[in-house]
Chains A and B, each alone.
Chain A
């Protein structure tokens, strides 16, 4: 029973980085940009978040704000490179992963492995004390609830506003969008920047909310899992929440299973998130049969001058 309560209570904590990053990637991909650099951007968000937190005297809010800004700047840089300089999206994205690992590795040394208090879960009398689901539903930290609000906001933005419609048009058919007077490059740059901010927030949560410490390479492939999650979610914000809870649940279970001392080899346990991601990817592929849900222009550059 305790195992179940704890497991449920920690699932959202592991889900938030995945969901926030997936939201950022959905915004990117809906505009036709494939940002494979999420892993690196998350790392930078995690480090900058911890730096701001420590240097401003254990200030959680500033930690999250600066982590988000770091992601926003890197997202803008990614957008600038692929939209304005027209670089290859795959190579640029992969370079961003290494760039993030390198920058945090080289510049982060003074802040590595410092345990912090970070953000604390809220406690509402009675509600949080409900057995089993109390802490799961009413005992999370504020960023968990903020992430849910972000899901609503990004869903409303993408599917209920004129700007969101235009952004999706840019991702589906940039030629038609351009002919309709939509500034394709501006929308893509916007999507890359806002999406980057979401990914930065996800990173800041890794260090300030989940681990409460910054460790080198702490993203551990979560940026990539988030990319797979977007495919599983078929580019819809709400489904990303379910995917996030599924993967967060798996990740939250690992330390708890280890603690019970069950005779499962440790490294096979650590492998499970990646195996599960692969399984989900295959499942999504079988269901989609050809991926008709993906934005049509995903990953393809749009260059008006090259048109013949």
Chain B
């Protein structure tokens, strides 16, 4: 027994795990690792669900069959993805220049407030109502990102904390309005007055998909043009990769950082508009819940690029739809979708390790 231990100790002593940087990363390998990570994350999520009494077969039924194999499911996913595309693009715009905008939910609330001001006070003629609401939502979202942007470039105040604190401030402001002056005059519930027909995004004619899809499409094209085709895109990539160098060669780093933050806030605001004008038909205090983290997750998984953002947002939308039906079926809490997202993100970012590095059993000493 002792001899065996001595031998095994000797074995361990002469060999250790060495971590090496891979010189070349193949696309196939990269995809395989990410896929494995997704499966790992989903596996843990399913294990937790089964632990909470969810039937495995019904996960397949609810998640895969209902969500992907009929038109109602697919259209529900599309509807869910519309605001997700907008928050994903919003997060990506800011993350590209290392501005960690955690304040997407607050900016969404502000966007919905901007849209609701137009709707509540009946500003503008009917046919201009929706464009005005969109414009105001973007401006209000930008306004909510302006403070952290200025604080970041002028005083170097950590934007993670400032944007996050503004989430709470926006949330309590919305509560104040909804329990006070903006309470629904009809049913006295703490949500805003319902929008009139001219203030709602109409449906395009396929299932429940609405014209928010056009807003999202325009946003994708604009962001794609801005980051891939414009001068701003090239300079901002430089700023994102190496801000010190960018400053040294005379690029307007502050302007680009602040501009990206504003674009991020504007996109988040437009997501608030889409939810208010196409899903809720009013201002509510639950409308932004979870979208901030979803935006971060989507941007991160999509590598801050606009086209992959579309794909990831669609997948995230299917998670939303499946999670929604499971929540109702098994009376699971709202935190469910976020939990699955967090587990998947942690799995995927941890898997990057196996893409970048190679583990090797190194031998040394005389054998």
Contact = CB atoms under 8 A, between A and B. Distances in A.
A103 interface: yes
B286 interface: no
A81 B173 contact: no
B335 A102 contact: yes
Nearest to A93: B160
B339 A103 contact: yes
Interface stretch (B201-209, B233-241, B342-350): B342-350
A231 B176 contact: no
Interface in A81-127: 81, 85-88, 90-92, 94-99, 101-107, 109
Interface size band for A: 35 or more
Interface in A233-259: none
Contacts of B165: 221, 224, 228, 274-275, 277-278, 281
Nearest to B290: A98
Residues of B contacting A: mostly: helix
Given A267-B173, A290-B156, A105 B333 contact: yes
Nearest to A277: B165
Contacts, number: 134
A98 B172 contact: no
A199 interface: no
Contacts of A221: 164-165, 168
A101 B345 contact: no
B336 interface: yes
B57 interface: no
B333 A267 contact: no
Contacts of A282: 151, 155, 157
A277 B165 CA distance: 8
Given A98-B338, A268-B176, A87 B151 contact: no
A250 B180 CA distance: 24
Interface in B169-190: 169, 172-173, 175-176, 179-180
Contacts of A277: 161, 165
Interface in B289-338: 293, 296, 300, 332-336, 338
A36 B172 CA distance: 22
Contacts of B342: 95-96, 98-99, 102
A131 interface: no
Interface string B138-175: 00000000000001000111101110111011001101
Contact of A285 (B100, B157, B176): B157
Contacts of B176: 265-268
Contact of A231 (B158, B333, B352, B353): B158
Contact of B335 (A101, A267, A285, A305): A101
A262 interface: no
B352 A271 contact: no
Nearest to B174: A267
Contact of A274 (B19, B169, B332, B340): B169
Contacts of A285: 151, 155-157
Q: Which 4 A-B pairs have the closest CB atoms?
A: A102-B339, A105-B335, A267-B176, A99-B342
Given A98-B339, A266-B179, 6 more contacts: A106-B333, A266-B176, A267-B176, A268-B176, A305-B19, A305-B20
22 contacts: A36-B160, A86-B356, A92-B349, A95-B346, A99-B342, A99-B346, A101-B339, A102-B339, A104-B335, A105-B333, A106-B333, A224-B161, A227-B161, A265-B176, A270-B175, A271-B172, A274-B166, A274-B172, A275-B165, A282-B157, A286-B155, A306-B21
